[in-house]
Amino acid sequence: MRRVAMVGLGGVAALIAACSEPVDEELPCGAREIVRDHRSPLCLSAHELAKRATAAIIPTQAEVDAAAAVIRAGFAPLRAQLDVVPTAASWNQERGQVTWYIHDPALAAAWSAGLGPSGDATVDAVVAAMDVWDFTLTSVTGVAVAGFQSRGAVSAANVAAALAAVPSITVERFSERGAGSSSDVIDLGVDAAGTRTLEFWIGWGDCQAGCIQSHHWRTTIAPDGSAALVAEWGDPLTPR
């Protein structure tokens, strides 16, 4: 069977990295190592799937490990066709990035010289949970914009929920298929018999606007761990 090399935001970087890095099966995925884990499309996808399912600000190591195991199993039937796992993350989500719009001048002033105690216990607890390694504070049309880079796959949705009692902060949210995404891995859940279904897809052609072409695969993982390709559809793939 012909193999194809993925193209798009994550594909080129993944193929370059594959020349010098271990294969995905050999890479541990670290819950607080999202920057390092850019070397592995599988790990980035594990971060993303764990983030979509977690109730925490950042998924736990156990959640990331479980997501990686599911992706490895579900991707097994596709290895004859694809060189690397499609990356399940948008441009911002890949970078562990979350942005807050701050409408409280006192809070913005507290961070004007850098990230530190804000004077609000709820805000400080959320910042601590995000495990921030880089912080910026700018202003757009008079509104303070705080940018946080997390060491993990920070969930903007869970950050927003944790800050629901702080009306002066609005958390920017991105859809799972954010602008610029050219691939994804979607966990469709587990049925009554214990079989899990995953969908993998890759897209190309003006993906900033949603991808003109795309190709999709659906695989299942049985309770005994065996995996099968059960459906495939979409535009023809270009062989490498």
Token pair for residue 31? 């819950």
Greater model confidence, 240 or 132: 132
Residue type, 61: Q
Residue 99 and residue 70 in one domain: no
pLDDT bucket at 210, cuts 50 / 70 / 90: confident
pLDDT bucket at 227, cuts 50 / 70 / 90: very high
Residue type, 13: A
Q: Which residues pair with 169 in a beta bridge?
A: 102
In a domain, 4, yes or no: no
End residue of a domain, out of 152, 171, 190: 171
Task: Identify the pLDDT of residue 188.
Answer: 95
- Residue 88 half-sphere exposure, CB side, CA atoms within 13 Å? 24
Q: Which pTM value belongs to this model?
A: 0.83
Residue 93 reports pLDDT greater than 70: no
Q: Which domain holds residue 85?
A: 9-90+177-234
- Residue 68 half-sphere exposure, CB side, CA atoms within 13 Å? 22
Residues 133-156 have a mean pLDDT of 93
Length in residues, the chain = 240
The percent of residues above 90 in pLDDT, for the chain, comes to 63
Residue 16 reports pLDDT greater than 70: no
In a domain, 185, yes or no: yes
Residue 13 and residue 85 in one domain: yes
Q: Which helix (H) or strand (E) holds 204?
A: strand 196-204
Residue 18 and residue 49 in one domain: yes
The owner of tokens 């020349």 is: 19
Residue 145 reports pLDDT greater than 90: yes
Residue 82 and residue 98 in one domain: no
Separation of first and last alpha carbons in the chain: 12
Residue 5 reports pLDDT greater than 60: no
pLDDT bucket at 176, cuts 50 / 70 / 90: low
In a domain, 3, yes or no: no
Residue 73 and residue 24 in one domain: yes
Q: Which helix (H) or strand (E) holds 145?
A: strand 143-150
Nearest Cα to Cα of residue 43 among 20, 22, 16, 12? 22
Q: Give residue 239's Cα distance to chain centre.
A: 27
Q: Is 34 helix (H, G, I), strand (E, B) or coil?
A: coil
Q: Is 135 helix (H, G, I), strand (E, B) or coil?
A: strand
pLDDT, tens digit (0-9, with 9 covering 90-100), for 106-125: 999 999 999 999 999 999 99
Residue 209 reports pLDDT greater than 90: no
Task: Identify the pLDDT of residue 143.
Answer: 93
Task: Identify the pLDDT of residue 92.
Answer: 60
Domain count, the chain: 2
Nearest Cα to Cα of residue 45 among 100, 80, 6? 6
